[in-house]
């Protein structure tokens, strides 16, 4: 019968060294396996890692200092900071945050709100006398042109020229015929005719209530005006004038000529309401229609009236139509285009 003997000291040391070496090798393999990236599945494409340090400078707000304990003099090529890019700003290749200045508009001819600094318009229509003016004159044609400074989409101050033409009523012409001829014949038999007109220069502050933007089709505005008004009344009658041409020589012809003329200058005031319609979405022109009330503060002058003529009053003056100096009121109604 054999008996087991105790191993020697040399054998025991050799076994302990082998076990320790095996344990160290197994632990190293486990650590390496944990740090290695997982292999992509079949058909899967992995995106390359982006080094944000290549895009974001160290002075950006997203750069933070690294732990000083991880730096070492033995690794001089290692970066001394670690950058963080949570908003992915480094992907924008603009060299950092983009800066914006004050907004720029279409040029020196526009206001800060985009409207043109200058506005122009032209229109035509009729003039309707009112009040005491209606007793002597009848409606007729009229036109206007204007232009001036536009300070915003809603406010402009143009300067305007208006020409408002009127006829004279049949009764007025008949009365004047009696004054001039002293008989009871009709004015038509005497060939007497007459017309009146008012031309003016005025300043017209205009406020746009709605329709001030390019997107608005319909618009409305109010205005006031103050200016200089020149009122003229002309009386005409048939006159003989000499007319000459190459084939027939000179011969007398009958024309309607002015034989009596009256003027009156005065300040005038008024106000009105207008509507606009934009022609198209791609143009800045607008059609407009407006109505105003005009008051001209003429100074009344004395003269010779039909009543005095019928009563045989002797008149030595030269004002046979004092109604021209009466205060003048009328409604101009005009249609046109604005630029």
Question: pLDDT per residue over 110-144, tens digit each?
Answer: 889 888 899 999 999 999 999 999 999 999 999 99
Residue 89 vs residues 53, 55, 60, 261: alpha-carbon distances, Å:
12, 9, 10, 84
Short-list 116, 124, 108, 210, CA closest to 161: 124
Task: Using the predicted structure, report yes or no on whether residue 77 has a pLDDT greater than 60.
Answer: no
Position 159 confidence tier, pLDDT thresholds 50, 70, 90: very high
The fraction of the chain above a pLDDT of 90, given in percent, is 50
- Hey, what are 162's tokens? 């208006």
Contact, 170 vs 201, CB < 8 A?
A: no
Alpha-carbon span 71 to 79, nearest angstrom: 9
What is the assigned CATH class of domain 118-338? mainly beta
| Higher-pLDDT residue of 66, 155 | 155
Give the residue extent of every domain in the chain. 38-99, 118-338
């Amino acid at each position: 019968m054999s008996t087991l003997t105790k191993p020697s000291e040399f054998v025991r040391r050799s076994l302990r060294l082998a076990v320790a070496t095996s344990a160290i090798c197994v632990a190293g393999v486990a650590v390496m396996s944990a740090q290695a990236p997982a292999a992509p599945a079949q058909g899967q494409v992995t995106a390359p890692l982006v080094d944000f340090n290549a895009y974001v400078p160290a002075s950006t707000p997203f750069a933070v200092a690294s732990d000083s304990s991880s730096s070492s003099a033995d690794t001089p090529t290692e970066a001394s900071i670690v950058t963080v890019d949570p908003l992915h700003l480094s992907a924008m290749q603009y060299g950092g945050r983009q800066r914006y200045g004050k907004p720029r508009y279409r040029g020196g001819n526009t206001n800060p709100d985009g409207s043109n600094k200058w506005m122009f318009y032209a229109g035509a229509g009729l003039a309707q006398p009112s009040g005491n003016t209606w007793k002597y004159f009848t409606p007729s044609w009229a036109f206007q042109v204007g232009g001036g400074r536009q300070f915003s989409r809603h406010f402009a101050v143009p300067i305007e020229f208006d020409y408002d033409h009127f006829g004279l009523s049949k009764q007025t012409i008949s009365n004047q015929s009696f004054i001039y001829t002293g008989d009871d014949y009709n004015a038509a038999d005497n060939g007497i005719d007459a017309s009146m007109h008012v031309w003016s220069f005025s300043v017209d502050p205009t406020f746009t209530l709605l329709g001030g933007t390019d997107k608005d089709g319909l618009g409305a505005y109010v205005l006031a005006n103050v200016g200089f008004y020149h009122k003229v009344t002309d009386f005409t009658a048939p006159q003989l004038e000499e007319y000459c041409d190459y084939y027939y020589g000179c011969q007398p012809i009958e024309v309607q000529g002015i034989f009596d003329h009256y003027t009156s200058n005065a300040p005038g005031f008024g106000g009105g309401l207008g509507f606009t319609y934009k022609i198209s979405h791609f143009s800045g022109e607008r059609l407009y229609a407006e109505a105003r009330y005009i008051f001209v503060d003429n100074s009344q002058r004395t003269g010779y009236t039909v009543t005095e003529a019928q009563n045989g009053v002797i008149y030595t003056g030269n004002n046979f139509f004092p109604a021209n100096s009466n205060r003048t009121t009328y409604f101009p109604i005009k249609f046109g285009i604005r630029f």
